[in-house]
Chain A
Amino acid sequence: MSTQTLVMEARGLVKRYGQVTALDGVDFELRAGEILAVIGDNGAGKSSLIKALSGATIPDEGEIKLDGKVIHFKSPADARREGIETVYQDLAVAPAMTIAENLFLGREIIKSGFFAKLLRIIDKNKMLEESVARMNDLKVGIRSMTQAVETLSGGQRQCVAVSRAAAFAQHVVILDEPTAALGVKEGNMVLELIRRVRDKGLPVILISHNMPHVFEIADRIHIARLGKRACVVNPKTISMSDTVAVMTGAKRPDELPAECLA
């Protein structure tokens, strides 16, 4: 297993906020083509870890490698340039704008020609065609790309946000609580989409509090605890209660049977 290619890797990340140590030498490994869930109690350092990986914060110590190359992100834009797309919780879409516009927000296709480039005239038809193609590719069943995102259900909105990330990510998709506040059916719709993203070959980092969702979809589970990585477990061999026990500190990782670790 350890010979599998690592898409993203972090060693000994430390992040301090004044007196508080959010990350205390955490390690992290993301393999090619997997869905890696990151779970942990509040304050376990999972959001700090994700922020460091997505460029939203700069770690004080440690190194991050992408495809074996050491990288230093100074902003989310840097991470995006390296092909890492992040969907932030609740902050993903512009509701009154169309699906096509949301998919291309900040990356609008500009018409060709000197005049069009100078005035930055957008090519709506091309954006529309591309949107249809990309949504079909991910089998997102939304009929019209010209409807405003606010006319969609919560799950469909989240699908738009995830599709945008998947469409532009070259390396990694990071999803922060993508199924929070969604009903069962809607949540499953998003989970289906995340699977299809993985099946297209993009590794996914999934931060979630929803244990059934994590167990349904994750290939491996990274358990964050006290600013470190407690362990990485295999959801096919470990029970949900053991996972929660490790997460909360009721059980030490070395008490787990060896086959549970991944």
Chain B
Amino acid sequence: MSSSKFPKLPPVATLGPLIALVLAVGFFATQSDRFLSVQNFSLILQQVMVVGTIAIGQTLIILTAGIDLSCGMVMALGGIVMTKLAVGSGMNAYLAIACGMLACMAFGLVNGLLVTRVKLPPFIVTLGTMNIAFAITQLYSGAQTITDLPPAMTFFGSTVVFGNAAINYGTVFMVLMYALVWWGLRDTQPGRHVYAVGNNPEATRLTGIATDRVLLGVYVLAAAFYGLAALLSVARTGVGDPNAGQTENLDAITAVVLGGTSLFGGRGIVLGSLLGAVIVGVFRNGLTLMGVPSVYQVLITGVLVILAVATDQLSRKGAR
């Protein structure tokens, strides 16, 4: 099956993120001689796995012309639920992981129900649930970091070494999830309906597609990816951190937009978000190597997301 038979983004939108990546890599290479090394690139890939996984869920939601501001906070909650259940209550590690994921998906369900049944705008709904998830995380954990995790929870943080490169299992897992979602969006009926809902919800509903069910499914599935991201985050840091997810929240949205998915819905490719996540990772890593304080990194990420949205907007105008 050739993919050329189905929709492709205009070349500029597809090449844009790649060009941005090459420029960023080129720039940081001139700023730090440690930047262009195999070790550093494998470090970037390790750092990218959490944001990258959240960005899968975020892509699904943005494809429906929605947005999820709660993604990082919901992930943090999932991480706390799974670690606290395993360490505090002595629950079986796998069961605890499942509970953490369910906690995330419950939030996805709430988001989805408020968007589809009460017809509230996703921006407001998830702004609310972002704060609720954050508060619950703090209350449930008592703002304490949870340590001494069972090995099952840190598995994805362990690495396989190829020469100078060290790839962790979590990164491999993330890439596999990207491949799966990319295929699902491209080749399955529910996947195409996600695009259709984002493109023209009313026309889609009138063709007989249950658009509310598509949307609800997207919010719950997206939250499942936040749950997996929670596991990866726990595995990477080795602790249950109640303050996790705070940079990831904006970084994931930035990654999706940098990856060429339109905030207006219905256009974009999930693999672009992986590229976007790598770009965000390269920026964070490069700026750190340059010795730029983290508060400036936040500032630059903010600028980056606005630039990406502006490019999206302008290129769509040009195409018409």
Interface residues of A (CB under 8 A from B): 76-77, 80, 86, 88, 91-98, 101, 105-108, 110, 119-122, 124-125, 128, 146, 148
A94 touches B5 (CB 8 A): no
SS class, residues of chain B in contact with chain A? helix
- 24 residue pairs A–B, Cβ–Cβ below 8 Å: A80-B208, A86-B206, A88-B206, A94-B199, A94-B203, A94-B204, A96-B199, A96-B266, A97-B195, A105-B204, A106-B207, A106-B208, A107-B207, A119-B184, A119-B188, A120-B189, A121-B187, A121-B188, A121-B189, A122-B189, A122-B192, A124-B6, A125-B1, A146-B5
Rounded to whole angstroms, the CA-CA distance of A68 and B188 in the bound complex is 40
In the assembled complex, which residues on chain A have CB atoms less than 8 Å from the CB atom of B7? 96-98, 101, 146, 148
In the assembled complex, which residues on chain B have CB atoms less than 8 Å from the CB atom of A97? 7, 192, 195-196, 199, 266
B202 touches A122 (CB 8 A): no
A92 touches B203 (CB 8 A): yes
Residue of B nearest to A77 (CB): B208
A105 touches B187 (CB 8 A): no
In the assembled complex, which residues on chain A have CB atoms less than 8 Å from the CB atom of B208? 76-77, 80, 106-107
Given contacts A94-B266, A105-B204, contact A110 B196 (CB under 8 A): no
Rounded to whole angstroms, the CA-CA distance of A76 and B204 in the bound complex is 13
From the candidates B189, B199, B200, name the one contacting A108 in the complex (CB within 8 A). B189
A93 touches B200 (CB 8 A): yes
- Closest 8 interchain pairs by CB? A106-B207, A94-B199, A120-B189, A106-B209, A94-B200, A106-B208, A105-B207, A108-B189
Rounded to whole angstroms, the CA-CA distance of A262 and B309 in the bound complex is 58
In the assembled complex, which residues on chain A have CB atoms less than 8 Å from the CB atom of B206? 76, 86, 88, 91
In the assembled complex, which residues on chain B have CB atoms less than 8 Å from the CB atom of A120? 188-190
Residue of A nearest to B267 (CB): A96
Rounded to whole angstroms, the CA-CA distance of A97 and B268 in the bound complex is 11
From the candidates B1, B6, B188, B209, name the one contacting A101 in the complex (CB within 8 A). B6
In the assembled complex, which residues on chain B have CB atoms less than 8 Å from the CB atom of A91? 200, 202-203, 206
Within 8 A of A (CB), among B144-195: 184, 187-190, 192-193, 195
- With A98-B7, A108-B192, A122-B189 given, can you name 8 additional A-B contacts, CB distance below 8 Å? A88-B203, A91-B206, A94-B204, A105-B203, A106-B204, A120-B189, A125-B1, A146-B6
**Interface residues as binary, B202-228 with A (CB distance below 8 Å gives 1, 0 otherwise):** 111011110000000000000000000
Query: Which of A101, A105, A121 has the most chain B CB within a 10 Å cutoff?
Result: A105
Rounded to whole angstroms, the CA-CA distance of A120 and B194 in the bound complex is 14
Interface residues of B (CB under 8 A from A): 1, 4-7, 184, 187-190, 192-193, 195-196, 199-200, 202-204, 206-209, 266-267
Query: Which of A96, A125, A128, A148 has the most chain B CB within a 10 Å cutoff?
Result: A96
Summed over the interface, the residue pairs from A and B with CB atoms below 8 Å come to a total of 81
From the candidates B187, B203, B204, B266, name the one contacting A122 in the complex (CB within 8 A). B187
In the assembled complex, which residues on chain B have CB atoms less than 8 Å from the CB atom of A128? 5
Rounded to whole angstroms, the CA-CA distance of A101 and B185 in the bound complex is 13
Rounded to whole angstroms, the CA-CA distance of A98 and B6 in the bound complex is 7
In the assembled complex, which residues on chain B have CB atoms less than 8 Å from the CB atom of A80? 208
In the assembled complex, which residues on chain B have CB atoms less than 8 Å from the CB atom of A108? 189, 192
Residue of B nearest to A88 (CB): B206
In the assembled complex, which residues on chain B have CB atoms less than 8 Å from the CB atom of A119? 184, 188
Give the distance to chain B from A100, nearest Cβ to Cβ, in Å.
8
In the assembled complex, which residues on chain B have CB atoms less than 8 Å from the CB atom of A88? 203, 206
Rounded to whole angstroms, the CA-CA distance of A124 and B187 in the bound complex is 8
In the assembled complex, which residues on chain B have CB atoms less than 8 Å from the CB atom of A86? 206
Rounded to whole angstroms, the CA-CA distance of A121 and B188 in the bound complex is 4
In the assembled complex, which residues on chain A have CB atoms less than 8 Å from the CB atom of B196? 94, 97, 101, 105
Rounded to whole angstroms, the CA-CA distance of A204 and B199 in the bound complex is 28
Give the distance to chain B from A127, nearest Cβ to Cβ, in Å.
9
Give the distance to chain A from B144, nearest Cβ to Cβ, in Å.
43
In the assembled complex, which residues on chain B have CB atoms less than 8 Å from the CB atom of A76? 206, 208
Give the distance to chain B from A99, nearest Cβ to Cβ, in Å.
10
Rounded to whole angstroms, the CA-CA distance of A146 and B1 in the bound complex is 14
Rounded to whole angstroms, the CA-CA distance of A148 and B200 in the bound complex is 14
From the candidates B192, B193, B200, B207, name the one contacting A95 in the complex (CB within 8 A). B200
